[in-house]
Amino acid sequence: MGEIFQEGLADLGLPPETLTLGTFLIFWVNFFINLFFLVVSYLLLRKKEFIISFKFLKYTFFVTVVGFFIDFSYYFLDRLIPDFINWLNRWFFIGIVISLLIGGFNFWFSKKMFRLTKKEAIFVGVVMAIFTNPLILPIILVSIFIFISDILFY
């Protein structure tokens, strides 16, 4: 069974060693990071009653599972972008697409699961898109650095 799964990963273009103990550790680290930012988001929305329920843990687990697959979409997006595009534009595009996927899913799922208003669900989606995407924070910092250097030196 494991060999078939490893061959399937190779067919998708992923390295056969993709699922290791480290992968599961990364999953649980992502779970606790998601839990932290979701708790902060719901506390800022004053929705403490959602946080103290078992439903919130199930919600966080499902967000982490879907987020894990969204993170793997990096490999497919990287293969879709032509090689002649420079690395900064490539990372920027991938970071934006992954942020839109993360934010969109969190918007939809939080609205469905906890019946949040549209404004509250947008807040949760934006917080998760910015703070749980490993590509977007460096992009934002590099963009700010380039913007400031353009102002100071030109």
- Per-residue pLDDT band for 50 (boundaries 50, 70, 90) equals confident
* CA 66 from centre of chain: 9
What is the chain's mean pLDDT, rounded? 78
CA neighbor of 128 nearest in space, from 109, 111, 103 = 103
pLDDT band at residue 132 using 50, 70 and 90 as cut-offs = confident
Cα-based distances in Å from 100 to 7, 31, 76:
30, 19, 16
- Residues 34, 123: Cα–Cα separation, whole Å: 15
Q: The pTM is what?
A: 0.70
